[in-house]
């Protein structure tokens, strides 16, 4: 659905992907969560400045995902990038 949206409402789509990622994380579907968060991050970086607040939030969410998956170095790197 989000891939086919012809509107210029990219911010809302990117936010929705982040919300879905967090919802799936809360359901224990960590890989699905990671996929949604990575797509959201890609969209944010494509359409918004690097210091945009949502980018930092998504990096933090991805850091948590990698911590849950046991990839502590990747989690640390993402957290550092977020701040």
What are the tokens at 5? 């949206």
Residue with tokens 């919300």: 19
Measured in residues, the chain has a length of 83
Give residue-wise pLDDT tens across range 27-80: 999 999 999 999 999 998 888 766 667 888 999 999 999 999 999 999 999 988
Encoded tokens for 11:
């911010």
The answer, yes or no, to whether residue 3 has pLDDT greater than 70, is no
DSSP-derived secondary structure letter, 28: T
- CA separation for the pair 46, 49 (Å, rounded): 8
CA 9 – CA 14 distance, rounded (Å):
9
* Most distant CA atoms of the chain, gap in Å: 38
């Amino acid at each position: 659905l989000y891939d086919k949206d012809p509107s210029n409402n990219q911010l809302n789509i990117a936010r929705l992907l982040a919300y879905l990622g967090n919802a799936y994380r809360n359901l224990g579907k960590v890989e699905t969560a990671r996929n949604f968060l990575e797509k959201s991050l890609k969209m944010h970086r494509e359409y918004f400045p690097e210091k945009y607040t949502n980018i930092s939030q998504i990096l933090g969410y991805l850091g948590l995902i990698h911590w849950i998956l046991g990839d502590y170095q990747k989690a640390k790197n993402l957290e550092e990038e977020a701040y």
